[in-house]
Amino acid sequence: MEAADMAWLLAAFAMVLLMFPGLAMLYGGMLNGRNVLNMMLMVLSALAVTGVVYVVIGHGLVLGDSLGGAGIIGNPFEYTFFSDFMTDDEAGGTFWGAFYILFAAISVALVASGAAGRMKFGAWLVFVALWIILVYCPLGHWVFALDNPETGTVGGWMRNKLGFHDFAGGTAVHMNAGAAGLALAVVLGKRKMSPGRPHNLPLMMIGVGLIATGWMGFNGGTAGGANFMAQYVILTTLLALCGGMLGFITIERVRDGHATMLGLGTGAIAGMVGITPVADAVGPIGALMVGFLAAAAAAWAITWKRRHQIDDSLDVFAVHGIAGITGSLFATFFANPKAPGEMAGIFFGGHVAELGHELIAIAATLVYSFAMTFAIAWVMNKISPIRVSEAEEEAGLDNSIHAESAYDSRQL
């Protein structure tokens, strides 16, 4: 690989790493002050456990030659222990191994939204390990593993057989995390007390800022090098960020009468989620629209969740699931063939049949993620309850299971 390409990728790596403390602050700032440390622990330990699991078995499951050529799951015995990565394969294999760990880890860290303030910490760690292997790896394989006719390697079915366009993991990362957060929230049940207000919105905003910066590395690094694609997706990601901020606060202003800072920050995230699958496939105006529509859809989806009494505490299904679906669907209709992704939306002369493929891919992702996550959590719960006791929940998990307090004083 060219040195210039690797230089950019290494920089992108550092940026994506920032998304972890960023997410910890985003999620932590939105909870009350008695559970903030627990949430930060869940996010950061998600990276810790993923690093272990992924090195042992994960990379083969995602990028290995598809077992039986079926495109369902890769060969777990490839890349085991990352021993191959001690030598330079001249193609950046070692870098990609590390980068893929971050992708997997951020996906599972997002799922912590469904567990806020009520999951046993040991159970969370076990859940992370099982989820990476059973949920993330297959979905990652479906959409990240490419067929390679020269070497005879078979990749994932969604990318290769269905021809589904997913630039940087709108399915494997965001729709996946959304459905999984929902499933975990359903198994755990609602928090006993009313959630209360976010305790530190400035902290949440710092988190949004770090995540937005990191996202430039997430999408820009996925471009694979210091090339035109990286230029283009950074531009579209920025535009989706802008559109997203406006989309959410517009809905808020019309529906509630106020634009809020929490709304702007949430919209920023939702906009970037929306562009993640299609950053290479829409025009600049399209990117603004993707951000706007994905954030607006997320804003509406959040009120739906409340009416159905599901305690997806930090709205990962709305902000990552619904926004990801919106971005993907937008491209099905409006992808601009002049963009580097060379995809033609239905309104730009593409085939209507693409809509069918799109819906199959979305449905397969959501159904598999929800069902398998539900199964993991449900079975774990049967073996040993994964929810904390009522007394622990009331006292706040920082105090009761971590013996720590984030702040010295409490706010009424």
Residue ranges that bind other proteins, judged by CB under 8 A: 196-198, 252, 255-256, 258, 260, 262-263, 266, 299, 302-303, 306, 315, 412
Q: Kindly state the smallest distance separating residue 26's Cβ from other proteins, in Å.
A: 13
Nearer of residues 252 and 393 to other proteins, judged by Cβ: 252
**Please, which residue, 192 or 306, has the CB nearer to other proteins?**
306
> To the nearest whole angstrom, how small is the minimum distance from the Cβ of residue 260 to other proteins?
6
Q: Can you tell me the distance from the alpha carbon of 74 to that of 141, in angstroms, rounded to the nearest whole number? A: 6
Q: Which is nearer to other proteins, 263 or 345 (CB)?
A: 263
Instruction: Write out 45-97 in H/E/C secondary structure.
Output: HHHHHHHHHHHHHHHHHHHCCEHHHCCCCECCCCCHHHHHHHCCCCCCHHHHH
Residue 386 structure tokens: 């994964």
| Residue 251 Cβ vs other proteins, minimum distance, rounded to whole Å | 8
Strands of 228-322, DSSP E: none
- Residue nearer to other proteins on the CB measure, 196 or 284: 196
Q: How far is the CB of 205 from other proteins (least distance, A)?
A: 14
DSSP for residue 103: H
Q: Which residues of 215-229 are buried (b: 16+ CB within 10 A; e: fewer)?
A: bbbbbbbbbebbeeb
Instruction: State the nearest-atom distance from the C-beta of 257 to other proteins, in Å.
Output: 8
Nearer to other proteins, 383 or 412 (CB): 412
Helix (H, G, I), strand (E, B) or coil at 176: helix
Least distance to other proteins from the beta carbon of 212, Å?
A: 18
**Minimal CA–CA distance to 142: which of 219, 211, 63?**
63
The sign of the CA dihedral 177, 179, 183, 185 is positive
Q: Indicate the length of the chain as a whole number.
A: 412
Please report how close the Cβ of residue 29 comes to other proteins at its closest, in angstroms.
Answer: 11
Please check whether residue 223 is in contact with residue 276, taking contact to mean a CB–CB distance below 8 angstroms: no
CA 275 to chain centre: 12
Minimal distance in Å, beta carbon 266 to other proteins? 6
Nearer to other proteins, 260 or 400 (CB): 260
Contact 222, 168 (CB under 8 A): yes
Q: Which is nearer to other proteins, 378 or 407 (CB)?
A: 407
Closest distance to other proteins from the beta carbon of 3 (Å): 45
**Of 258 and 382, which has the nearer Cβ to other proteins?**
258
Contacts of 173 (CB under 8 A, 6+ apart): 103, 106, 107, 110, 276, 320
Q: List, as one string, the DSSP characters of 180-224.
A: HHHHHHHHH---SS-----S-HHHHHHHHHHHHHHHHHHHHHHT-
Of 197 and 351, the one with the shorter C-beta distance to other proteins is 197
